[in-house]
Amino acid sequence: MSKIDPWGKCEIDDYEASMDEFGIEPLKNVKLPKKHFLFESGFVYGHKDIGLILDAIKKKKRFVMLTGLMPSGKMHLGHSLVVQQMVYFQSLGAECNVLSADVEAYLTRGLDRKKMEEISEDYFLNYIALGLKKCKFYYQSEGSVEYNNLSKFLAKKVTFNEMKAVYGELSPGKIVSALIQYSDILQPQLKENGGPCPVVVPVGIDQLPHINVTRDLAYRYRNEYGFVMPSATFNKLLPGLKGGKMSSSEPDSAIFFDDSDVEVGRKVMRALTGGRDSIEEQRKSGGRPEICPVFAYHSVFNSKESERIRSDCKKGRLMCGECKKELNKVLAGFLKEHNAKKKEAKRKLKEYF
Q: Which x/- pattern, by CB under 8 A, does the window 187-226 give for a copy of itself?
A: ----------------------------------------
Residue 158 within binding range of a copy of itself, rule CB under 8 A: yes
Among 119, 180, 203, 296, contact with a copy of itself (rule: CB under 8 A): 180
- The nearest distance, CB 249 to a copy of itself, in angstroms, is 21
**Is the Cβ of residue 156 or residue 347 nearer to a copy of itself in the bound state?**
156
Among 160, 304, 350, 351, contact with a copy of itself (rule: CB under 8 A): 160
- The nearest distance, CB 214 to a copy of itself, in angstroms, is 14
Long-range contacts of 284-292 (CB under 8 A, 24+ apart): 284/316, 285/316, 286/313, 286/314, 286/315, 286/316, 287/313, 287/314, 287/316, 287/318, 287/320, 288/313, 288/314, 289/313, 289/314
Q: Side chain identity at 107, as an amino acid letter?
A: L
Residue 159 within binding range of a copy of itself, rule CB under 8 A: yes
Q: Which residue, 109, 112, 111, 86, is CA-closest to 99?
A: 86
- The nearest distance, CB 209 to a copy of itself, in angstroms, is 14
Residue 101 within binding range of a copy of itself, rule CB under 8 A: no
Residue 152 within binding range of a copy of itself, rule CB under 8 A: yes
- The nearest distance, CB 144 to a copy of itself, in angstroms, is 8
**Is the Cβ of residue 152 or residue 343 nearer to a copy of itself in the bound state?**
152
Residue 170 within binding range of a copy of itself, rule CB under 8 A: yes
Residue 156 within binding range of a copy of itself, rule CB under 8 A: yes
Q: Check the CA dihedral 160-17-244-335 and report its sign.
A: negative
Counting beta carbons within 10 angstroms of the beta carbon of residue 343, is it exposed (0 to 12), middle (13 to 18) or buried (19 or more)?
exposed
Bridge partner list, 26: 46
- The answer to whether 27 touches 4, Cβ cutoff 8 Å, is no
Query: Binding to a copy of itself (CB under 8 A): which residues in 333-352?
Result: none
Residue 175 within binding range of a copy of itself, rule CB under 8 A: yes
Residues 6+ apart with CB under 8 A from 294: 241, 268, 271, 273, 274, 320, 323, 324, 327
Order of strands across the sheet that contains 25-26: 25-26, 44-48, 231-235, 199-203, 64-69, 95-100, 136-139
**Is the Cβ of residue 131 or residue 173 nearer to a copy of itself in the bound state?**
173
Residues of the shown chain interacting with a copy of itself in the complex, contacts defined by CB under 8 A? 103, 106-107, 110, 141-143, 145, 148-149, 151-153, 155-156, 158-160, 163, 170-173, 175-177, 179-180
